[in-house]
Structure 1
Amino acid sequence: NQRSSSSSLFSGFRVLGLYSNHVPHALRYHKKHREFYVVTAVGKCFHTYNVRNNDLFLFSISCNSLPDDIVCVAADRMLVFAATGKIINAFARNKEVVMRYQGHKQEVRLLLPLGDQLISADSGGDVIVWDIQEGDIYLQLQFDPVTFDVSAMMHPSTYLNKVLLGSSQGALQLWNIKTSKLLFTFPGWSAGVTVLQQSPAVDVVGIGTATGRVIIHNIRLDETLMSFTQDWGPVTSLAFRTDGPPIVASGSPQGHIAFWDLERRQLVTQQRHAHGTAVAAATFLHGEPLLLTNGADNAIKVWIFDQEGGGARLLRCRQGHSAPPSTICHHGNDGKNILSAGQDGTLQSFSTVHERFNKSLGHGWFNTNKKKKGLIYEELRLPAITNFSSATARQSDWDGIVASHRGRLATTTWNYQRCTMGAHHLQPPVPHRNAAATAVDITSCGNFAVIGSSCGRVDVYNLQSGLHRGCFGNNDKAHGGTVRGVATDALNQLTLTAGSDWLLKFWRFKTKKEEETLKLNAAPASMILHRESGMLALALDDFTLLVVDIETRRVVRKFAGHQGNINDMTFSPDGRWLITAAMDCTIQWCSPLLLLDFWIFDIFLLTFRDAVFKCHNRVCVASCLYVSMSPTGDFLTTAHVDSLGVYLWTNKSLCGPVGLRPLPADYQPAEEMLPGVTADELEQEVVSEEVDDAYKSASQLGAELVTLSLLPESRWKSLLHLDVIKRRNKPLAPPAAPAAAPFFLLTVPGLTPRFMSPAETGQETQVKDYGPSSVSIELTSLAAEGGGSSSLLLAFIHMIDSMLSSGRDFDLAHAYLALFLKVSKSQHPLLHLSSRLETGWAELRASFDQSLCLLSYAKSALL
């Protein structure tokens, strides 16, 4: 079998929409930058975000992708520690692995940096103290998981070389890691310890239990000061506020956060549904009214406490889908925004330019006018979006997105600019029982929405008013089975519908009358229309593809090759290529516009070599569920099984010629790794405090380039107009002699006081530092009339020649030379400089002309 090492058409670029998982975050404070950084795990790598100006900017990504998923992260002043399985990896500059700590026999689940040491605990009961710099084991403690299963660790403030261990049985132990001695054992509260957190007060710690209790305990006196109980299950995180109010926050598996007042010993407020899943970690920023949280719902959130009564509001959020995408599509003609509907019920927009342009359109909700009282939060949400269509023609005037939901006949409208669900729920006048919307499309003008349902109806609605504008077919039925696809042409003259009754029908859009019917070989699974070329692609249930010309209304191409159901397909912008994704884990690229001579070959020959590839994520092959080609043709976007991200693949054919040949019948697709997050969009990178990250420019970039002197223009431009400046600044009266010498003049010690000359100060002054007047005097004194000699003139000529040949101080050299020609009478030593000047200016003129040409071309392209 012939096998390609990689795809010649696509290369992985990056993934969008991944921010966090169930691993608790780690918070760092950079003293030099005076900024907070949060580290979150995303699969096999971790991201570092800057909480600058209450914002979340992605500043760094770990370059070394680890072999397994990260199970816990921790950070100190210099390094970031990430545990994968039994190995702990230390990352410097948040990027490269500089040390690996190997010695655990079970999976590591807890990490605690403590000075020059790192403490780790695994699921087998081993607690190891590592020397961070050397990587050696300093101390190893063994616990029996049956009697003391380590579930939490913390270092009590001001307790030198002490660590407090909590167990799932409920007991706590205080150890001295330097002497390897057990100092004290706390019997516990008959509940497993889930969280240990240091409070702002010395000797006082917060303890979270599996029964939902929050215990404030003094470990020096072994005295419980107070306790609270939350009704949402185990405590997943604890955080103490340090900017004034004595508040402790506790997280829950339901995503709620409770805030307790330690003075009044009562619940102050609660933040329900702060996360869609369990709150993995919550941390108050030191000295600020900000709470940072992350969860398994793929979200990082910053909450600010500026509400009356001590309540918090969401200040900043980086959030993706908490469940895999259910469908994706590009929005607009610039290819910069990707609409993605997730199985979590949200509709989001991801930007291919920068994550700051991402948008979340939120969840779909039932009609609030008809909702019943007493419904809980989850019952008010609409099911996940199964299909949607968008248009930008009239999105500034009214809603430009129509979406169908799982098991619902009514479709919803969404507004992209306001980032909210629209005002209309589109539903037929006489709803059919147990029917659901299965296919949607928006006309190119953006005025109408065409919606097909499982009962065979195809209805038309006005998007501005939400009113029903008719339906296709006799007896309000366009097909005898489920409508699998609807499409309208570019001029709103033709409507195409495909149903499970194996029929493709052509309708007149205005009159709603059927014009022609095409019988298919199998039931269509999906349908997509390329409006510009008039090519209609249908994916059939027998794993074949049909391409129909809507002008001639004939099948012009038929493709086969997939070994599973075709999940999705998309056209290239010019309509020459059709990309399909199927359950056989392959993505195929074929051409509907091949010459008919190719049709005589086997159907596998209609697919190009290396255009077929499999996607996998190092664990198992990841089936591609949805594909979308950018309107500009630069990226292919995919969504995969059990993956929360949206993946971008670069189209190599735009970068250079790509040799494509037909595939043999026994061709085996190449396997491609799913791309990860890249640092191309990052603004800067976080560095350790001891490293000087200031960039130092090179003195000279290249021999063919010139470097300016970086002096102000007054230093060298004024040299050419010194005579004018002197006439303008000529004083009206002669200067008067000072009555006494200034006190700040330097003197030479001795019996006879005398002033120190400038040459005796020991400070060398370069000509480059002189002002225009001083330079004029120096150049005048070079000639014999000014007390100089011919050797000085020749030395000056050599200096100018050296400056021109090296390309340094280009502007200053020309200014000195121009002034020299004014004040000097002898010009014969300058003859050999003429060729060098002409050569230098010719190279610069060519560079200027080329840059101006490119700039003019770019301007004309934009206009």
Structure 2
Amino acid sequence: MSFPSKIFVGYRALGFVSNHIPLVTRYHKRHRDNYVITCVGQSFHVYNVSKLGIVAVSDPHPEDISVLAADFRYVFTASGNRVFAVSRNKKIEKEYKGHKADVTFLLPFSHHLISVDVDGSLIVWDIASQEQYLQLKFDPETFLISAVCHPHTYVNKILLGSQQGGLQLWNIKSNKLVYSFSSWGSPVTAIQQSTAIDVMAIGLADGQVILHNLALDKVVVRFKQDYGPVTCVAFRSDGHPMMVTGSTSGHIALWDLENRKLHSYMKEAHFSSITGLSCLPSEPLMVTSAADNSLKVWIFDLADGGARLLRLREGHSAPPSCVRFYGNDGQNILSAGHDSTLRSFSTTHDKHNKNLGRASYHKKASKRAGLKHDKHKMPPIVKLAADPSRESDWDNILATHRSSTVTTTWNYQRCTMGKYKFIHERFKNDVAEHSITATAVDISSCGNFGLIGYSSGHVDMYNMQSGLHRGTLGEAKAHDCTVRGISIDGLNQKVVSAGANGVLKFWRFKNKQLLGQLKMEAFVSQTMLHRDSSMLAVALDDFSICIVDIDTRRVVRRFAGHSAAISDLTFRADGRWLISASMDCTIRTWNLPTGSLVDAFALQEAATSVSMSPCGNFLTTTHVGDVGVYLWSNRTLYSHVFLRPLPADYEPRLAELPTTVISDSDNHDSSAAIDEDEENGEEYKSPEQIADELVTLSLLPTSRWLNLLNLDIIKIRNKPKEPPKVPKAAPFFLPTVAGLEPKFDIGKGEDKQAKAESHIKKPKLGALSELAQHLSKGHKTKSYSEVMACFKEMGPSKIDSEIRLLSSEEGGSNEVMSYFLEFIETILQSNKDFELAHAYLALFLKVHGEELSGKPELSSVLQKLSSTQFESWQRVEELLQKSLGLVAYLRSATV
């Protein structure tokens, strides 16, 4: 197995919070915290309500999750016609197979799980054994299940709501219909247990909410909301008699149950239908989710009993159209979506995500009208340019909008729209007639100037601080056609503008004079400049890419391979790679020095925008119809990758988009981490694997073995000039000498010291040293590993003394000396600890050289050791000479 891409591997997906699947809440007794679970496609996220931080991400499911449910132990999910039990919020532990249609409802019921599919099959599962306990079949024509709930204190009973408006109470133990309630005249959309026994809240598609007493089959009270069908119902359990209902319009209604009237409306709580709503037990908190990719926590602490927004986690509600890395650290990504919002996503932690707001022609009027019915909303951002150099001084982001002449400024530090909206006087009266739009933008590297290109061919320069117009390129127009790209070099000396007719024009930045122009072979679709290398990437309408050196104004590279329109371009930080995304659903990496394609991979959906991190560690992409921002990790930073040129007819392989779980490439099999083209390349080899080819060192400090031969010289050099004198200790009662004059008796102290020195213990005669004992044991077992371990623990002085004790005069023997030579021979044959073996052997020969020459019984051992040493060094010397010759050749060839 190999990766579809040699360079990039999926890392994680950003910007996913929730979708149309209702949320689920759980209470953890040990943590004493509430958790909320939201669905994000094939996985689900688990957030703690206290900080709304993500604490777990489940493993991907085979298909998109369609239902969520949870009990104290498992999180139950349905994907297609399969039901799963996920343990520890991550691992899929159990699978329940039996449905033939897609599952629509799940309900944990004590030790059982109830599941319902679209064909009307209801199955009761035993959670532990995964066996079917009961199966019921309902006719969708007469009773299509649309809601499932378990009434409190109703043992073994469940309440089913139908699309036809009726209710049925079933006993799942006896498999009997207990009671059938008459139809409400409208489909049942939600059923929820109230805080009172026997009373259930029933939400209907016509907006009615009915509190019904099941025991008496009597309606307690009716409510009706004015904003569409009821999608979910919840009750506060913190002592306030209040019911909360959600609607398809995104509004939340609060109902006063004591006075049986509407309390208030929380308008525009979400931009789309509220799919999940839950009041936390015994707390004044409410959690809501919707299909607008947001999760909100509300707190009931207002003076009138209403709720306010406490915490928020959200992403784009519509697919992003443009992404760019912001800053030089590569930790923030600017993303502009089709929902007209500009957001910043963090690659390190979701808590650093920012929302810069939604584009509006009039911000104050938009706030008064509300975001949902905002008439001043601007079209989505199409292109943006940002520079962080003056972010703390003034607006530093410039953005163009779809079919709009107005170019907006944004402030990253204050997370809001800027105070300037650039539009030239010439366009204010003629904009409606000619439909002139801003098509290209760029900001200078100093952050002071912004350039805007228009579909009329004009290119205007503005001051980002004051918002004043600072000139126009060309006498009347820069081009006679639409401006498709505009770029400023890193030194504010040149400006390059690209027209749709294929003409590149080079301008002087200061006086705006035309320096020259270059005609391309086809029409230009967009451009991208790498400021450090002055290389301009030009995407043409014939699906090819040209690299233009703006200093020499010449085409230096041409790349062809895409089969559809190129959607975006990006450079690596050092300018050696150009990465292009196309509507043919491929992403290709081109090597500029060699002028070749080095990597390509295909995707299910075409990439609409790509951007490479300034640090080179991530590639970010956005895709058609997808609200996520995807990160791809650069494998070349942590592993050796062979980037060989790919053939012209290379077919890219399909790659899966990253999931919300951080991918760990180390979890792959070792064979999967090696590409097919890298099988003949270098691999990591342990010291045991290279024993037949090279030698390995011990990696011990040089102070442990390098100075063994000179240890006697070092001792002489470090010897003190005078021996240390022991201070005389004065006794408590000073002895005196008898006489006319009192004198202290000092001689007794010297006598005690001499007596103590005479009692120093001497080693016993005939006992082998520690090293000799290890050598004898190693000779018997034919393994000298303990001897080497003993040597590595000793210091230089200890090694010197132990080797000296091997002589027969110092308590050793000829056998022990032969054992030591066998030990050195074994180490040389193993090709490990090469420097230690030679250091110990040199010291041994220096100390016992004269003695060895007079002992013929050791000559055979010495000759065998000499041949082994010569063979080991000859092999290493040949490799060294070969490497030195190769280096000398390469040095002479490059001079």
- When the two structures are superposed, what TM-score results if normalisation uses the length of structure 2? 0.72
Map 1:118-133 → 2, pairs under 5 A: 118-133=113-128
Q: Does 1:246 align with 2:241?
A: yes
- Quick check: 2:58–2:661 contact (8 Å CA) kept in 1? no
Corresponding residue of 1:535: 535
After superposition, what is the alpha-carbon deviation per residue over 1:233-277, rounded to whole angstroms, capped at 9, x for unaligned? 111111111112222111111212111111222222222222222
After superposition, what is the alpha-carbon deviation per residue over 1:767-820, rounded to whole angstroms, capped at 9, x for unaligned? xxxxxxxxxxxxxxxxxxxxxxxxxxxxxxxxxxxxxx9xxxxxxxxxxxxxxx
**Could you tell me the percent identity over the aligned residues?**
51
- Quick check: 1:327–1:342 contact (8 Å CA) kept in 2? yes
Please give the secondary structure, in 2, of the residue aligned with 1:356.
helix
Q: Does 1:22 align with 2:20?
A: yes
Q: Which moved more, 1:75-84 or 1:210-219?
A: 210-219
Corresponding residue of 1:524: 524
Corresponding residue of 1:99: 94
Structure 2: distance between partners of 1:648 and 1:391: 22
Corresponding residue of 1:440: 441
- Quick check: 1:269–1:310 contact (8 Å CA) kept in 2? no
Structure 2: distance between partners of 1:115 and 1:386: 53
- Tell me which amino acid in the other structure corresponds to 1:645: G
Corresponding residue of 1:43: 41
Map 1:795-806 → 2, pairs under 5 A: none
After superposition, what is the alpha-carbon deviation per residue over 1:360-390, rounded to whole angstroms, capped at 9, x for unaligned? 1121111247889989724222111111111
Q: Does 1:426 align with 2:409?
A: no
Structure 2: distance between partners of 1:266 and 1:388: 50
After superposition, what is the alpha-carbon deviation per residue over 1:54-92, rounded to whole angstroms, capped at 9, x for unaligned? 3211111112x2221110010000011100111101111
Please give the secondary structure, in 1, of the residue aligned with 2:116.
strand
Q: Does 1:633 align with 2:626?
A: no
| C-alpha deviation, 1:470, in angstroms | 2.0
- Tell me which amino acid in the other structure corresponds to 1:654: L
Corresponding residue of 2:544: 544
After superposition, what is the alpha-carbon deviation per residue over 1:8-48, rounded to whole angstroms, capped at 9, x for unaligned? 11111111111111111111111111111111111111111
- Tell me which amino acid in the other structure corresponds to 1:435: I
Q: 1:304 to 1:639 in 2, by over 3 A?
A: same
Q: Which 5+ residue runs of structure 1 have no aligned equivalent? A: 599-605, 616-620, 682-703, 705-804, 806-863
Corresponding residue of 2:74: 79
| C-alpha deviation, 1:656, in angstroms | 2.8
Corresponding residue of 2:498: 498
- Tell me which amino acid in the other structure corresponds to 2:653: A
Q: Which moved more, 1:482-491 or 1:462-471?
A: 462-471
- Quick check: 1:367–1:425 contact (8 Å CA) kept in 2? no
| C-alpha deviation, 1:461, in angstroms | 1.4
- Residue of structure 2 aligned with 1:382, choices 362, 378, 382: 378
Structure 2: distance between partners of 1:213 and 1:267: 12
- Tell me which amino acid in the other structure corresponds to 1:44: Q
Structure 2: distance between partners of 1:314 and 1:95: 29
- Tell me which amino acid in the other structure corresponds to 1:634: N
| C-alpha deviation, 1:307, in angstroms | 2.2
Map 1:206-217 → 2, pairs under 5 A: 206-217=201-212
Please give the secondary structure, in 1, of the residue aligned with 2:351.
helix
Q: Which moved more, 1:504-513 or 1:345-354?
A: 504-513
- Quick check: 1:109–1:121 contact (8 Å CA) kept in 2? yes
Structure 1: distance between partners of 2:2 and 2:58: 29
Q: 1:460 to 1:303 in 2, by over 3 A?
A: same
Corresponding residue of 2:483: 483
Corresponding residue of 2:575: 575
Corresponding residue of 1:165: 160
How many residues align structurally?
663
| C-alpha deviation, 1:6, in angstroms | 2.3
- Tell me which amino acid in the other structure corresponds to 2:614: P
Q: Structure 1: which 4+ aligned runs deviate by more than 4 Å?
A: 368-376
- Quick check: 1:429–1:468 contact (8 Å CA) kept in 2? no
Map 1:619-768 → 2, pairs under 5 A: 621-679=604-662
Structure 1: distance between partners of 2:44 and 2:2: 31
- Residue of structure 2 aligned with 1:70, choices 65, 85, 89: 65
Map 1:821-836 → 2, pairs under 5 A: none
- Tell me which amino acid in the other structure corresponds to 1:276: F
- Tell me which amino acid in the other structure corresponds to 1:507: W
| C-alpha deviation, 1:510, in angstroms | 2.1
Q: Does 1:405 align with 2:401?
A: yes
Please give the secondary structure, in 2, of the residue aligned with 1:393.
helix
Structure 2: distance between partners of 1:452 and 1:264: 62
- Quick check: 1:401–1:416 contact (8 Å CA) kept in 2? yes
Please give the secondary structure, in 2, of the residue aligned with 1:37.
strand
Q: Which 5+ residue runs of structure 2 have no aligned equivalent? A: 665-698, 700-785, 787-895
Structure 2: distance between partners of 1:34 and 1:465: 54
Structure 1: distance between partners of 2:155 and 2:524: 71
Corresponding residue of 2:467: 466
After superposition, what is the alpha-carbon deviation per residue over 1:555-607, rounded to whole angstroms, capped at 9, x for unaligned? 1111111111100010000011100010111111112222xxx6xxxxxxx11
Map 1:248-287 → 2, pairs under 5 A: 248-287=243-282
Corresponding residue of 1:347: 342
- When the two structures are superposed, what TM-score results if normalisation uses the length of structure 1? 0.75
Q: 1:565 to 1:423 in 2, by over 3 A?
A: same
Corresponding residue of 2:677: none
Corresponding residue of 1:565: 565
- Tell me which amino acid in the other structure corresponds to 1:506: F
- Tell me which amino acid in the other structure corresponds to 1:330: F
Q: 1:389 to 1:629 in 2, by over 3 A?
A: same
Q: 1:391 to 1:31 in 2, by over 3 A?
A: same
Please give the secondary structure, in 2, of the residue aligned with 1:474.
coil
- Tell me which amino acid in the other structure corresponds to 2:265: Q
Q: Does 1:363 align with 2:361?
A: no
- Quick check: 2:486–2:497 contact (8 Å CA) kept in 1? yes
| C-alpha deviation, 1:679, in angstroms | 4.9
Structure 2: distance between partners of 1:488 and 1:40: 45
- Tell me which amino acid in the other structure corresponds to 2:469: H
Structure 2: distance between partners of 1:151 and 1:41: 20
Corresponding residue of 1:329: 324
Please give the secondary structure, in 1, of the residue aligned with 2:537.
strand
Structure 1: distance between partners of 2:344 and 2:99: 43
- Tell me which amino acid in the other structure corresponds to 1:176: N
- Quick check: 2:3–2:9 contact (8 Å CA) kept in 1? no
After superposition, what is the alpha-carbon deviation per residue over 1:683-740, rounded to whole angstroms, capped at 9, x for unaligned? xxxxxxxxxxxxxxxxxxxxx9xxxxxxxxxxxxxxxxxxxxxxxxxxxxxxxxxxxx
Q: Which moved more, 1:667-676 or 1:258-267?
A: 258-267
Q: 1:30 to 1:371 in 2, by over 3 A?
A: closer
Q: 1:373 to 1:318 in 2, by over 3 A?
A: closer
Structure 2: distance between partners of 1:68 and 1:175: 31
Structure 2: distance between partners of 1:446 and 1:370: 30
Q: Does 1:607 align with 2:577?
A: no
Q: 1:679 to 1:663 in 2, by over 3 A?
A: closer
Q: 1:235 to 1:331 in 2, by over 3 A?
A: same
Please give the secondary structure, in 2, of the residue aligned with 1:242.
coil
Please give the secondary structure, in 1, of the residue aligned with 2:55.
strand
After superposition, what is the alpha-carbon deviation per residue over 1:263-304, rounded to whole angstroms, capped at 9, x for unaligned? 222222222222222111100111111110111111111111
| RMSD, aligned α-carbons | 2.2
Query: Greater CA radius of gyration, 1 or 2?
Result: 2
